[in-house]
Chain A
Amino acid sequence: AQSVAQPEDQVNVAEGNPLTVKCTYSVSGNPYLFWYVQYPNRGLQFLLKYITGDNLVKGSYGFEAEFNKSQTSFHLKKPSALVSDSALYFCAVRDLGGPPPGGDYKLSFGAGTTVTVRA
């Protein structure tokens, strides 16, 4: 079974400081990993994904994430946070190794991390 854990319910940082949102995953095969952001009363917006290749992936709005296979982690980072980055962030995983061939197409989401960036 696939699962995602976001160990922090909330992350608070000052504007201009680096931002990190943590995510660990569990899959039986290779992971297909995603980060989404949700603003109040909106749907989820795609930020970035990892399936293969360079462990550091770059996404929208200056965000990046680092895939670490040995630690089964996929932490989201931004070097300098903005007040407008305040939102709810979700990590998600799809297991490419399970049945049917190529894995299941279901995404499992973490519980979400609320990011607050103070001016």
Chain B
Amino acid sequence: DAGVIQSPRHEVTEMGQEVTLRCKPISGHDYLFWYRQTMMRGLELLIYFNNNVPIDDSGMPEDRFSAKMPNASFSTLKIQPSEPRDSAVYFCASSLGGGVSFFGQGTRLTVV
């Protein structure tokens, strides 16, 4: 398996633009997690899904953030409108039955 695949690897956008981050989990995994990593706040869990259903979105910072998982092999995290303080590395991870989480390479987002 190729592991968790995230795209794009890097994204630079202007403040106010919509940003969409994409994730393909490991085939067969039933949990999917979105994290944000910054120097100031470390690794924060934003939202997680079980069998494509959002279970806990308490970490989503604002209504500007939304996440979907239309099927078992694809998830998106959308920021609309983006702001400079959203600049961070966003990680997607998947696991089987809530066990070991396997992380993607991350998307480095820069909002200017």
The reply to whether B98 and A105 form a contact with Cβ atoms under 8 Å apart is yes
A74-118 CB contacts (< 8 Å) to partner B: 90, 94, 102, 104-112
Q: Given A43-B91, A43-B105, A44-B91, are A105 and B42 neighbors across the interface (CB < 8 Å)?
A: no
Contact indicator per residue, chain B 16-47, by CB within 8 Å of chain A (1) or not (0): 00000000000000010100000000110100
Q: Is chain B's binding surface mostly helix, strand, loop or mixed?
A: strand
Looking at B48-56, B63-71, B78-86, the stretch in contact with chain A turns out to be: B48-56
Residues of chain B with a CB closer than 8 A to A44's CB: 91, 93, 103
Return the CB mask of B85-106 against A: 1 if under 8 Å, else 0: 0000001010100111111111
The closest CB in chain A to the CB of B3 belongs to: A43
A residues lining the B interface (CB < 8 Å): 34, 36, 42-46, 49, 90, 94, 102, 104-112
Instruction: Give B residues with C-beta under 8 Å from A.
Output: 4, 31, 33, 42-43, 45, 48, 50, 55-56, 91, 93, 95, 98-106
